Amino acid sequence: MAISHAQPLVLLLFVSLFFLPALGKNVRFGYCSGGSLYPVTVLTVDISPQPIIGTQSSANITISGFTILGISRSAQVTANLVVSGNVIPPLPPKTYSLCDLTDCPVNLGFIELTFTNFFTKDDLLWANGRGVFVRIEITDTADFVKDKLCMYFECETRW
């Protein structure tokens, strides 16, 4: 009888150990409007490595969520970077085709954006070891709902 009770506990322990490392990489984020008023809802933001140390490495950023509207191939993703404290003027925005970051077209349901080597060496020199706020926007001018997402999060950088 004790074995039948122990098996679910062992399974629960195994599953929790499998998922706990992933929880450590998740980053807090927010929406530009103060609430989720966009067709895309973000579930997680993962940054690896976190923090970014020096200028010799970059970061891969994965944004996962779901959408209640499809998004066409013509959609653009814009990333704006601002240093914590806003003491240095922001860098020019980075612009991507949505199809460079995920499979297109995006249908209703799960969406995952993957930015590989997001920061350049110049970005990290500009950050100078301070936190960098990243604002991500998805816009689709071919659709009647132009603004699909506007969200932000912070990346840690250190020297």
Q: What is the CATH number of the domain that holds 52?
A: 2.70.220.10
Instruction: Give the C-alpha separation, 148 to 108, whole Å.
Output: 12
Number of residues that make up the chain: 159
- Asked if residue 64 belongs to a domain, the reply is yes
How many Å is the Cα radius of gyration of the chain? 19
Q: Which domain does 72 fall in, by range?
A: 25-158
Residues in a beta bridge with 61: 47, 115
Q: In 100-118, which positions are buried (b, 16+ CB within 10 angstroms) versus exposed (e)?
A: ebbeeebeeeebbbebeeb
Taking only the tens of pLDDT, the chain with its 159 residues reads 455 554 443 333 333 334 434 444 579 999 998 765 899 999 999 999 988 888 877 899 999 999 999 999 999 999 999 887 665 667 889 999 999 999 999 999 999 999 999 998 888 888 888 888 999 999 998 887 889 999 999 998 887
Asked whether 125 and 7 are in contact (CB, 8 A), the reply is no
- Asked if residue 148 belongs to a domain, the reply is yes
- Asked if residue 102 belongs to a domain, the reply is yes
Residue 66 C-alpha from the chain's centroid: 13
> In what helix (H) or strand (E) does residue 124 lie, and over which residues does it extend?
helix 121-127
- Asked if residue 119 belongs to a domain, the reply is yes
- Asked if residue 3 belongs to a domain, the reply is no
32 in helix, strand or coil? coil
- What pTM did the predictor assign? 0.79
146 in helix, strand or coil? coil
- Omega before 49 cis (within 30°)? yes
- Asked if residue 6 belongs to a domain, the reply is no
- Asked if residue 117 belongs to a domain, the reply is yes
Number of domains in the chain: 1
